[in-house]
Structure 1
Amino acid sequence: MKKRNGMVLSLLLIFALVFGSFGWQSTSLAKMKTSTESPVTVIKWDNELQEMDGFGGSFAFHKGGSIMRLEEPVRTKILDLLFSQENGIGLSIVRSMIGDGGISDWGNEHYDGPTDTILPSPEEYVWENPDWDKEEFDQYQIWIMNEAKKRGVDTFLSTAWSAPAWMKQNSSVIDNGTAPNKLREDMYQEYADYLAAYVEGYKEHFDLDITHISPANEPDFSGGYSSSLWTPQELNTFVRDFMGPTFEERDIPADIVLGESVGFNEEFALPALNDPITNEYVDVVAAHAYTGLENGGTEPDPEAFHQTQELGKTIWQTEYMNQGSNKQTFEHNTITDGLRYANLIGNMFEETGANAYFWWWPAANNGADGSDLIRLVNDGSDRGIAPTENGQFRIFKRFYTFGNYSRFIQPGYQMIEADKHPAEDIMVTAYKDPQTDNFTIVAVNNSDQNQEITFDLEGFPGDAEAVIPYRTSASENLEKLDAVETNDNKFSMELRESSVTTFIPKQFELPALPDMKDVFSSYVAAENDGQSSGLQTMESKAGDKVITNVRDGSYIKYTNVNFADGSASGQADKRGILSMNATVAPIAGGTIEVRLDDPENGKVVGTMEVPRNGNPNDWKTVSTMIDTNSTDGANGFHDLYLVFTNDNHSNKKMFNVKEFQFSDEVIE
């Protein structure tokens, strides 16, 4: 009896100790949870900032023709990818070039100019000539504007690179070195009438409403293509005394855009802004972003548009791209480049109050990947204007990160206040549609670690019960993810490393974009589109999901991979050069076959040898060059299979697999 009582007392003592310890531990865990709660960004519905005018791009220098010449269904696919909010990134502004006619040294030489002018000589406008070929006139730009209209675009900016040659001091639309590359002062009124007639004529003859017009593209640049120099004071004089009054007298509906200098600042519009007469005529202050950016080209000077902001004027960034040979590399088409532009766009909106952001050529056939969001591949022929399009295209990561904004922020939205940096390397900006209560939150994770962030939707309408994330990362292209429920107008989400995630309310969800993969993405083994039986997924020591239990004959599959012309880098000397790297942890070792379209009978376009007798936690990189021949190689669209084999067909575990990446070189 005493023994039993002793046991009971011992059990009670143990219970008390455990209970007491449990109580202490619970308190500690509660404190730990509180101290490690995810960082919070508070987004304030009622703290309204600038109105958004949208996102755009240019099709100057015949680039609309690059799309127009494509055969169906590729032509429609490209147009939808650019302008459709349902099936693409929803661009909402088209920037066109006011044609200068291309006559160099008036009456003597001919320069293959970018497009037709409405006034090729002082005598008459083209539509006054009975022999005028309306169908051929400026056909590429007119076609692309009409295609954009069909997809909901109603904002059209037309910019003059140069006046016609006969109005210029050097009788040329380019810098020919004979005289200043400038408009003659005695032609200021002629030029103002010319710009007014352009707006009137495009409405009358093509039913196109030019909503915005800019008299000078890059007035601080003079070169071997259409260009014209202006000083800031000359622009002020021209708009104040000629263009503004002419537009007012003729009731021209287009808003006047001024500036468009090479650098992102208000310098070339400042005299006009400070002139009380000119100021009334100027609607938009615009600039390009080729200079004036800091921190690797992602941060503008917050004071760059100080006077513009003081006056409450609209600010547009109307041209930028990856310029220079050092930017025409494989890396500048990957998520590294995509993150750069995601940061730049958000910073421009938040720091300078910009209302619109433009890419240079959204889609084009040219010789430099960095100029485009979508590169239309050509056949290398010489047509005088550009080589012939072959129907293939390359979509870069910046297309998708640009789309993380442009697809979900439409004209009329307002930027609203958000805690921009709730954690290191995180950037959050937010926007709302005051008409519908739709909203858009864009979160950029610049770190190499996943980070959970809580979004506190202060003052938001109460019917946002869930949000839909759309994510672009190294392995995802505006991927539509599962809905995230809100609780008390808050939600939390782990932002994937090196990613851009856009959140919109579930009641306004948009469909997933058409599934297209590319050579600029990484391929996470555990996120494949299909795999053979027996393969397993586990978490590595570093927290990554990896494929294990790899045996002879097993495989994983990725659907609809766009190899285009099989190039990692589109430069002429790199065409057709493509490699693949695999991150593996060897066990018994073996071979990875890169096959197209079928795991057993598909063409083998590369082979990677995995070392034998390794450590399953010791990750290595193995590589192979890829056969990209246009007959049966990795060229165009294919399903991609990674097939795992060994020499003796044994059933041993061969290796673990983390991910695959394309490149333009083999990693030794």
Structure 2
Amino acid sequence: MRRRTKWMVRTGTAILATGTLLLGTAVSGVAHPRPTAVVDFSDVRQTIDGFGGSFAFHKAGAIQRLGEPLTSRMLDMIFDDRAGIGLDIVRVMVGDGGTWGDQLYDGPTQTIEPAPGVFVWDQPDWPQRKAAFDAHQIWLMREAHKRGVRTFLASVWSPPAWMKQNNSVVSSGPDGPPNKIRPDMYQAYADYLAEYVLGYEHEFGIRITHVSPTNEPEVTTGYSSSQWTAEELRVLVRDHLGPTFARRGVPADIVLGEGVNFDERFAQAAISDPAANAYVDVVAAHGYAGLVDEATRAAPGAFATSQALGKTIWQTEYMNQGAPRDRLFVNSTITDGLRYATLIGNLFDETRLNAYFWWWPVANNGADGSDLIRLVNTGTPQSGNPTENGQYRIFKRYYTVGQYSRFVDRGDVMIGATKAPAPGVTLTAYKGHRDFSVVVVNNNPGDVTIDVDLTGGAPRPRAVVPYRTSASENMKRLPDIHTRGGRSFTATLRGQSVTTFVPEWSKLPGLPDRKDVFSTYLAEENDGQSRGLKVRATPDRGKIVTGVRDGSYLRWANVNFADGSAAGFADQKGELRLHATVAPRAGGVIEARVDGPRGPLVGTMTVAPGSGTDWVTATTWVDTSPAGANGFHDLYLVFRGADGSLFDVDTAAFSD
């Protein structure tokens, strides 16, 4: 029998399918204390600057091309905390006039200074060129501002070519000149960045709040890049960039580092020099290396100097690079989502992180794990024909990152809390003026019940409101949990889930019900079923649906099949399978249909008779043609067979 990961709780005892007993259960009359997490509102830690994402290399252009109402829907899903996950920070690319691999990614970026001393807004033709200049990013920043975003980070991949030793914004190869700025151009570069900030506010009404002079300074490659050493960055900031910003009244903070490794190596020389440190506002790094324990925490001491100096620390770029081109279906499921939820909590707790960024929140690309939302297309930007078709996929990581970003607001502070109230469970907590949020990640396969005590002058809500993402749920708003005098509450954490608890006065609406092929569909949590079906609890599989007879059906509403390519590759279009886990009795046929119990047939599974106690998984390819499971549809499992009971039903799930 295939072991399930459901738990069943009855008469005070929680039993896993394997027989494992959960903490807080009663065994042979011996009471074990339930795990308790203490959230101490008087233990104030770092201020949260927010959660962000990048739109470098014209990624906003794909959102624009969707057209209304999809364009606004995508923007709301990213930036609005009522309709989406409420990102607070936008990271943009300072244009350098170069390209990504010869006109890829919608062509070259535009620089404000294409030649020494020649700024675009000082030229006679500027009124005619202005509307098209950096149009995608300008539009995106304005739309984000409409939705409450006030923090804009501009990072430099490369200075303009005329400032470089190789006269190029990309690498000239192993035998070419160094891919570095010329030593005599440091002041010109400082003036360039000052002009960028001042010019964007004057010309476009956009206040760039943070500037990073380098992106991944150890990298030299065929796209925009420029190498720096930590000592060179110290000199740049101390002698040029900092004094220039101060002299010209540039209202932007300086962000330093942004190396590939999640550590402070590229900022350490500057922050260890008091004269340079005075100008460094944020120490930043990316998360592509230097993370340990399966990429869920920072290496010890990675930011020791920054922490000792009380510096603000940002993680400004990370994504799921996954298997080669993200061909593992699991990299889009709750397994992937839990990885990032655990990572975020650990970084806020251990590194005292102030902000966390994803790479591309919404993008049209070649399915490499870069996105939270992927726009389906008939040609990626790399192909030179970036045509979106109006379909999209929402990966589980969108929701698990959102379990933080939607509820933890800019300006909130992290507060002390029991980090690991039970094995496999991590908890972090945050508070605002009156609000608070408690985010709990349960990496265990089974449910865990915990008590949460609110201490240290905590507000006293009559109830807390939980929102949960699990294998079968996407940030689902659950019923209120009443507190005990506003001081504590008890919650059962679903296996492999992320749950955020907020006070009753801070509740947000549930997100629109958009199901996806990356979720598990529990039979008992369907959206509609035929008469005669019943839900029954079992000791080994939790709740199941029984009473299945000829013509019975289960329905799940609003499933997003997109174009039918499970992992998002054009060459995998239509490679989608559906699995139904059942205990056959008389057996029969399971039909997969869309839009009704007599709707289009998209798959068929035949199951032989059985004992009714042995569980099997039946599989079918899914017809994802335009007339089948393509785009959003209700999914039906319809059961056919002879008289009598045909099956008991546990789950349905998809794979590639």
* 1:529-560: CA deviation from partner (whole Å, max 9, x where unpaired): 01111000001221511100000001111111
The counterpart of 2:621, out of the listed 621, 625, 638, is: 625
Matched, 1:38 2:34: yes
Alpha-carbon contact 1:366-1:386 (below 8 Å) kept: no
CA separation of 1:414 and 1:167: change in aligned 2, threshold 3 A: same
**1:619 Cα deviation (Å)?**
1.1
Q: Corresponding residue for 1:245?
A: 243
**1:103 Cα deviation (Å)?**
7.1
Q: Corresponding residue for 1:62?
A: 58
CA distance in 1, matches of 2:55, 2:453: 40
Alpha-carbon contact 2:367-2:567 (below 8 Å) kept: no
Alpha-carbon contact 1:82-1:88 (below 8 Å) kept: yes
CA distance in 1, matches of 2:560, 2:103: 41
Matched, 1:446 2:443: yes
Matched, 1:100 2:96: yes
CA distance in 2, matches of 1:94, 1:394: 21
The amino acid of 2:252's aligned partner reads A
CA distance in 2, matches of 1:281, 1:596: 60
The amino acid of 2:653's aligned partner reads Q
CA distance in 2, matches of 1:460, 1:153: 31
CA distance in 2, matches of 1:510, 1:114: 41
The counterpart of 2:652, out of the listed 649, 653, 660, is: 660
Q: Corresponding residue for 2:12?
A: none
CA distance in 1, matches of 2:381, 2:91: 27
Q: Which runs of 4+ in 1 moved over 6 A?
A: 29-34, 109-112
Q: Corresponding residue for 1:389?
A: 388
CA distance in 2, matches of 1:163, 1:417: 42
The amino acid of 1:461's aligned partner reads A
CA distance in 1, matches of 2:322, 2:622: 28
Alpha-carbon contact 1:405-1:442 (below 8 Å) kept: yes
**1:328 Cα deviation (Å)?**
3.8
CA distance in 1, matches of 2:62, 2:366: 13
* Number of aligned residue pairs: 625
Structure number with bigger Rg: 1
The counterpart of 1:52, out of the listed 48, 51, 71, is: 48
Alpha-carbon contact 1:369-1:375 (below 8 Å) kept: no
CA distance in 2, matches of 1:285, 1:579: 45
Q: Corresponding residue for 2:11?
A: none
SS of the residue 1:224 aligns to: coil
Alpha-carbon contact 2:364-2:381 (below 8 Å) kept: no
CA distance in 2, matches of 1:104, 1:608: 47
Matched, 1:457 2:454: yes
Matches within 5 A, 1:369-388: 369-380=368-379, 385=384, 387-388=386-387
SS of the residue 1:237 aligns to: helix
Range with bigger deviation, 487-496 or 161-170 = 487-496
Matches within 5 A, 1:583-602: 583-600=581-598, 602=599
SS of the residue 2:73 aligns to: helix
CA distance in 2, matches of 1:103, 1:532: 57
CA RMSD, aligned part only? 1.8
Q: Corresponding residue for 1:307?
A: 305
Q: Corresponding residue for 1:569?
A: 567
CA distance in 2, matches of 1:70, 1:162: 30
The amino acid of 2:646's aligned partner reads M
CA separation of 1:589 and 1:633: change in aligned 2, threshold 3 A: same
Alpha-carbon contact 1:104-1:165 (below 8 Å) kept: no
CA distance in 2, matches of 1:393, 1:194: 38
Alpha-carbon contact 1:113-1:226 (below 8 Å) kept: no
User: TM-score, normalized by length of structure 1?
Assistant: 0.91
Matches within 5 A, 1:454-493: 454-488=451-485, 489-493=487-491
Matched, 1:609 2:606: yes
Q: Corresponding residue for 1:348?
A: 347
Matches within 5 A, 1:221-240: 221-240=219-238
CA separation of 1:381 and 1:462: change in aligned 2, threshold 3 A: closer
CA distance in 2, matches of 1:171, 1:382: 26
**1:131 Cα deviation (Å)?**
1.2
CA separation of 1:324 and 1:656: change in aligned 2, threshold 3 A: closer
Q: Corresponding residue for 1:25?
A: none
The amino acid of 1:505's aligned partner reads P
Q: Corresponding residue for 1:22?
A: none
Structure with higher RCO (Cα < 8 A, 6+ apart)? 2
Q: Corresponding residue for 2:161?
A: 165
CA distance in 1, matches of 2:427, 2:30: 23
CA distance in 1, matches of 2:600, 2:114: 57
The amino acid of 1:152's aligned partner reads G
CA separation of 1:31 and 1:447: change in aligned 2, threshold 3 A: closer
**1:210 Cα deviation (Å)?**
0.2
**1:341 Cα deviation (Å)?**
0.3
Matches within 5 A, 1:421-432: 421-432=420-431
CA distance in 2, matches of 1:104, 1:39: 52
Q: Corresponding residue for 1:548?
A: 546
**1:461 Cα deviation (Å)?**
3.4
CA distance in 2, matches of 1:276, 1:384: 49
Matches within 5 A, 1:140-539: 140-177=136-173, 178-323=176-321, 325-326=323-324, 327-380=326-379, 385=384, 387-433=386-432, 435=433, 437-488=434-485, 489-539=487-537
CA distance in 1, matches of 2:347, 2:458: 27
* 1:439-498: CA deviation from partner (whole Å, max 9, x where unpaired): 000000001111101101112434311100000000000000000011041111110000
Matched, 1:135 2:157: no
Range with bigger deviation, 375-384 or 654-663 = 375-384
SS of the residue 1:153 aligns to: coil
In structure 1, stretches of 5+ residues that fail to align are 1-28
Matches within 5 A, 1:107-126: 114-126=108-120
Alpha-carbon contact 2:322-2:328 (below 8 Å) kept: no
* 1:178-202: CA deviation from partner (whole Å, max 9, x where unpaired): 2000000111110000000000010
